[in-house]
Amino acid sequence: MNSIIAIVLAYLIGSISFAVVVSRLFGLSDPRTYGSKNPGATNVLRTGNKAAAALTLLGDGFKGWLAVWLALTYQFQFDLSDSTVAMVGLAVFIGHLWPVFFKFVGGKGVATALGVLIGINVWLGLGTFATWLIIAYAFRYSSLAALVASLFAPFYYALLFGARIELLAVVIMSALLIYRHSQNIANLMAGKESRLGSKKKDAA
Ligand code: G3P
């Protein structure tokens, strides 16, 4: 029973879309209506409001970290297995992708996945974030950086911990993240993907 409660709670935490909440607080348009229509930090940045984008990134990352941190901190008190902790990480991520509070229209999961990885292990999170930064700096594509980082994350996990149950959660998370970037992949291949820092005319 505790496991089900933990997983459902994680899903609910993940369902809070900070892109939508922060945009409302800042009086910006709903991010699901402009740019890539993705409720995520990259799309909020297209309004030109860096503070709102940073807050979205922090909020979406924080919720991923929080769910895993809570599960790990109370793992023994509530008799949660390692598989449950892995499922909690996956559940908060899935909540972000298909949020119950926003008609199941969620984001692509980059910030939340990063939060989950930091929650599992800070070096795992930092290594993945460093990968994102290097690719983003070199190519100026947020999506490409996320795709490359998500490919590396399972390898970083395996290097640090070997083949544990959490590795499966990290692999599934990466696979879902790549799936959610299908349109970005098509745009990248067609040379139509917008670069970091470029604003959308219809974003405000
Ligand atoms: O944060 C998601 C990012 O990787 C791509 O976002 O808005 O360019 O589709 P976007």
3-state secondary structure 106-124: CCCCHHHHHHHHHHHCHHH
The pair of structure tokens assigned to 84 is 């449950």
Query: Given ligand 1 and candidates 60, 143, 177, which is best to mutate, with the most ligand atoms within 8 Å of its CB?
Result: 143
User: Is the C-beta atom of 150 inside 6 A of ligand 1?
Assistant: no
Our answer on whether the CB atom of 91 is closer than 6 Å to any ligand 1 atom is no
pLDDT tens string, the chain, 204 residues long: the values are 899 999 999 999 999 999 999 999 999 999 999 998 999 999 999 999 999 999 999 999 999 999 999 999 999 999 999 999 999 999 999 999 999 999 999 999 999 999 999 999 999 999 999 999 999 999 999 999 999 999 999 999 999 999 888 999 999 999 999 999 999 999 999 999 999 877 665 555
Task: Please give the model's pTM, rounded to 2 decimal places.
Answer: 0.94
Helices (H) and strands (E) in the chain, counts: 10, 0
